[in-house]
Amino acid sequence: MESQQSSPSLAWYHQESRRPLASLVFVIPILVIYEAGGLMLGPQAMRNAADGWLRELLRFLGFGQYFLLPLLTCAILLGWHHLSGKAWRVGSGVVSGMWVESAALAVLLVIGARGLPELLLDVQGDPDLAGTWLDQCVSFMGAGIYEELLFRLMLLPAVIGLFRLTGVPLSTAVMSAVILTSLFFSVAHYDWFLTAGEPFEISSFVFRTLAGGFFSGLFLWRGFGIAVGTHALYDIFVTAF
């Protein structure tokens, strides 16, 4: 439950919304929609690759329970918040503000994509693969959570840490990690990695790399929750409009 905060300022909101606890409260409904929707839709549910890879990794390690991945996602954010040493509360209006901010950022990304038609990423452009609108929305919720979990929350800090171990300055390590993880994010959408992936095209590859950099910047500047919300809403908006 959100606590009361008198006269919240933009700076206060910016700080509060970046905190892992706020991200957890924000993403829990998205997790519930995705996991419950996947169960209700059954075998025909559209699952994103990051979800599949993370579940395969857990099965390889001997943990095949269906709900373990969403529980681990919550546990990572709880552990991160604990290490931050911040108070265990979420300010009033923060979560609703995060939805508004995510929607605004998603619209800006759609406008940017529409302004570059040769680079436009049509995430579900093939009508044979699109499924119903409900199928797509459920899938996009999962993409928002698990692609951001894998590429931004897990890989990006790990790559930054590896660069730092070599003595690279922090700014160089961050920039290099953003570029490398954004390239991997883009490549991971194609049939090099996925049996049902897309054929490689330079235009969509360039756009996905730029989008990966955009989401990385959001993660570093605005936190995990905003990156998840913007990613999921962008996928929904670009398909709906």
Mean pLDDT by runs of 10 across the 241 residues of the chain is: 56 93 96 86 71 89 87 95 92 94 94 66 41 78 93 96 95 97 91 64 87 96 97 89 70
Q: Which residue do the tokens 């169960």 mark?
A: 39
The pair of structure tokens assigned to 113 is 């994509």
Helix, strand and coil in the chain, % to nearest 5? 75, 0, 25
Contact 154, 200 (CB under 8 A): no
What pLDDT does 125 receive? 39
**Among 210, 198, 241, 228, which Cα is nearest to 119's?**
210
Q: What are phi and psi of 91, to 5 degrees?
A: -65, 150
pTM above 0.85, yes or no: yes
pLDDT at 126: 38
The residue ranges of every structural domain in the chain are 7-240
**CA-to-CA distance for 176 and 162, rounded, in angstroms?**
11
CB 147 within 8 A of CB 155: no
What single DSSP character describes residue 154? I
Residue 39 pLDDT? 80
- Candidates 160, 185, 164; CA nearest to 174 is 160
